[in-house]
Amino acid sequence: MMSNKWKNGLMLLAVVLLCVLPLLFVSGDFGGADDAAEGVITEINPEYEPWFKPLTELPGETESMLFALQAAIGAGVIGFSLGLLKGKQGQAKQNSISK
């Protein structure tokens, strides 16, 4: 059997490749905004007018900052939880030894 470390490493590599390979081999603009979705809609129904505008339109830089913030908050909470679990496990081991 492959060790868990190996498997985890390969899985991470696969995730990275799934991102990198399209960038290398597909020539698209990889636009991050969802603006172009309206292209398909206007193609089907040229008269359609969006009836509601987003409440806030932040500059692109601020938007990417907020996306980074979103990921950072999530990663922080995941790290905290894993740390807590690991600490609990260590404590339980110590308790069972001292008993």
Partner 1 sequence: MKKRGFWSFAALIAGFTVYFMLNEPGTAQAMHIMEGFLPVGWAVFWWVAFLPFFVLGIIRLRSMTRENPELKLLLGLAGAFTFVLSALKMPSVTGSSSHPTGTGLGAVMLGPLPMGVIGSIVLLFQALLLAHGGITTLGANAFSMAVAGPFAGYAVYKLMMKLPDREKLALFCAAAVADLMTYVVTSFQLAVAFPAADGGVLASFLKFGGIFAVTQIPLAISEGLLTVLLWNWLKSYSPNEMSLLKRKVKGGNA
By the criterion CB under 8 A, which residues form the site for partner 1?
1-2, 4, 6-8, 10-12, 14-15, 17-19, 21-41, 44-45, 48, 50-58, 63, 66-68, 70-71, 73-78, 81-82, 84-86, 88-89, 92
Up-side HSE of residue 68: CA atoms within 13 Å toward CB? Answer: 6
Smallest distance, Å, CB 95 to partner 1? Answer: 13
Tokens 């600490």 belong to residue:
87
Q: Specify whether the CB–CB gap between 40 and 48 falls below 8 A.
A: no
Nearer Cβ to partner 1 (23/94): 23
Smallest distance, Å, CB 94 to partner 1? Answer: 15
The Cα 59–Cα 64 span in angstroms is: 9
SS3 57: coil
Smallest distance, Å, CB 43 to partner 1? Answer: 9
Q: Specify whether the CB–CB gap between 50 and 38 falls below 8 A.
A: yes
Nearer Cβ to partner 1 (37/98): 37
